[in-house]
């Protein structure tokens, strides 16, 4: 069966043929490749073609596909049972690893997805602050819960408008939109809505408008504004946690949030996420407090075991992030040089093992900047790279990832492919 045939069949039985929209290749054209298996830095499709994988399951696989230690931990856990819906020692072990790693984590709670983590963090923040208003930033993605699926309205102090069908306006009326990397827009919302804002949530390293890091001074201003107006500051590190560094985004800004969300890497490739923070906030959760949150598979032993294996490997490594950042920088410097040779404007960013690039002549600091990128050129580049065996995120507005099994030779292979891709694009117009 070919990739095209498999996708046609999938669309008969799965909405859109995929279980997460970006996988459908809608923004880059063509059909997605259908994955058969992965090993290390590479994936293989059902046609037997091999690709250097810069998606790595959208971030979780910092040690690549089929890591032997994580695989062993999962297999041993499976032998004891898939799920119990009851406490196990492994969930406490993983919780302890996380809480001892971060000074602002007194307690955490596990869930099964990043969407659940951010949704639950916002709920407990509102329960603690006793205020309904929430500030989020245009271009930041915090999962697909209703209150967060909004875009900017007529100004920073207006209510957001639902940007997904099926989301009632009443659900988003307490969500306010601010401009990323613009502290004045946040302060204006606070001042225009006295006593209403109970929480602020942000990706300190935005990964869903492409890779756009928040400025250090901006995040420090957010901390000061939340303290001044009595709001809970939530840093969404579902993507950047254990990806930007072993301490997530913290070394880049030094801001301690009241609540933090994690996902992806902490599950080692399995479905695990978490939210946590100050004791007085987390104690608002049931059964200790009045804020309800639950999940049948939360803290399941398979995901916890994979997470323990992944974080244990991270903690045992002395130079993991230096190696990964060197690879990511080598890749982006190579892409930039190849683009320059072809006369193509390209902006690049790197944060640890995360990288991003935009087809625009201007620096990207927020969502509006990102939207000015040449998405048609991106689609041509993506197709040309896929043809050459390099699997990149199929959207201009996503982040890429390197993994530990990658070598400089792998990176050089991708850079050479980029050079050929740009030449092809220039030749074909």
pLDDT in tens, 380-392: 999 999 999 999 9
- The verdict on whether 67 is a catalytic residue reads no
Report the candidate in 210, 251, 216, 214 with the shortest Cα–Cα distance to residue 394.
210
Q: How many residues does the chain have?
A: 429
Q: Assess whether pLDDT exceeds 90 at residue 168.
A: no
Whether residue 389 contacts residue 52, with contact meaning beta carbons closer than 8 Å, is answered with yes
State yes or no: is 264 an active-site residue.
yes
Q: What is the pLDDT of residue 151?
A: 54
Helix and strand element counts for the chain (H, E): 14, 18
Mean pLDDT of the chain: 94
For residue 234, give the nearest of 203, 188, 279, 274 by alpha carbon.
203
pLDDT at residue 163 in the model: 63
- With a cut of 50, say whether residue 160 has pLDDT above it: no
Pick the catalytic residue from 42, 51, 128, 141: 141
The reported pTM is 0.94
The active-site residue, picked from 107, 131, 136, 264, is 264
Beta-carbon contacts of 338 under 8 Å, excluding residues fewer than 6 positions away, are: 415, 418, 419, 421, 422
Catalytic residue among 236, 258, 369, 410: 236
Among 182, 238, 207, 234, residue whose Cα is nearest residue 350: 207
What pLDDT is attached to residue 367? 93
Region label for 56, one of left (φ > 0), alpha (ψ between -120 and 50) or beta (otherwise)? left
Measured between alpha carbons, how far is 402 from 330 in angstroms, rounded to an integer?
A: 11
227 is annotated as an active-site residue? no
The per-residue pLDDT for 384 is 97
Once rounded to an integer, what is the mean pLDDT over residues 224-246? 98
């Amino acid at each position: 069966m070919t990739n095209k045939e498999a996708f046609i069949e999938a669309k008969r039985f799965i909405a859109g043929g995929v279980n997460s929209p970006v996988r459908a290749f809608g923004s880059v054209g063509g059909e997605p490749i259908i994955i058969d298996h992965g090993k290390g830095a590479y994936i293989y499709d059902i046609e037997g073609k091999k690709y250097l994988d810069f998606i790595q399951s959208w971030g979780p696989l910092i040690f690549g596909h089929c890591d032997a230690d994580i695989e062993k931990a999962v297999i041993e856990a499976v032998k004891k049972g898939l799920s119990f819906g009851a406490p196990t020692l492994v969930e406490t072990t993983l919780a302890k690893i996380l809480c001892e790693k971060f000074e602002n984590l007194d307690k955490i709670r596990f869930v099964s997805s990043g969407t659940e983590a951010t949704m639950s963090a916002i709920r407990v923040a509102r329960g603690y602050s006793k205020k309904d208003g929430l500030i989020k930033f245009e271009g930041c993605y915090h999962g697909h819960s209703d209150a967060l699926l909004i875009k900017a309205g007529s100004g920073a102090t207006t209510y957001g408008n639902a940007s997904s069908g099926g989301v009632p306006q009443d659900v988003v009326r307490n969500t306010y939109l601010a401009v990323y990397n613009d502290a004045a827009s946040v302060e204006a919302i606070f001042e225009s809505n006295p006593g209403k804002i109970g929480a602020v949530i942000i990706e300190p390293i935005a990964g869903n408008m492409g890779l756009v890091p928040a400025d250090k001074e901006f995040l420090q201003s957010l901390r000061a504004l939340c303290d001044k107006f009595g709001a809970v500051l939530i840093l969404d590190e579902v993507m950047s946690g254990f990806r930007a560094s072993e301490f997530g985004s913290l070394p880049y800004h030094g801001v301690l949030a009241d609540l933090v969300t994690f996902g992806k890497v902490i599950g080692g490739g399995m479905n695990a996420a978490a939210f946590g923070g100050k004791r007085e906030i987390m104690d608002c959760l049931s059964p200790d407090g009045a804020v309800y949150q639950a999940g049948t598979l939360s803290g399941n032993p398979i995901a916890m075991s994979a997470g323990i294996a992944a974080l244990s490997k991270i903690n045992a490594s002395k130079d993991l992030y230096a190696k990964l950042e060197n690879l990511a920088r080598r890749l982006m410097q190579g892409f930039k040089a190849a683009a320059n040779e072809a006369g193509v404007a390209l902006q690049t960013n790197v944060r640890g093992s995360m990288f991003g690039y935009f087809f625009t002549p201007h620096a990207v600091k927020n969502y509006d900047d990102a939207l000015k990128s040449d998405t048609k050129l991106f689609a041509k580049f993506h197709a040309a790279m896929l043809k050459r065996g390099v699997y990149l995120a199929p959207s201009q507005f996503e982040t890429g990832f390197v993994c530990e099994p990658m070598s400089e030779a792998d990176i050089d292979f991708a850079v050479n492919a980029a050079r050929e891709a740009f030449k092809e694009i220039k030749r074909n117009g």
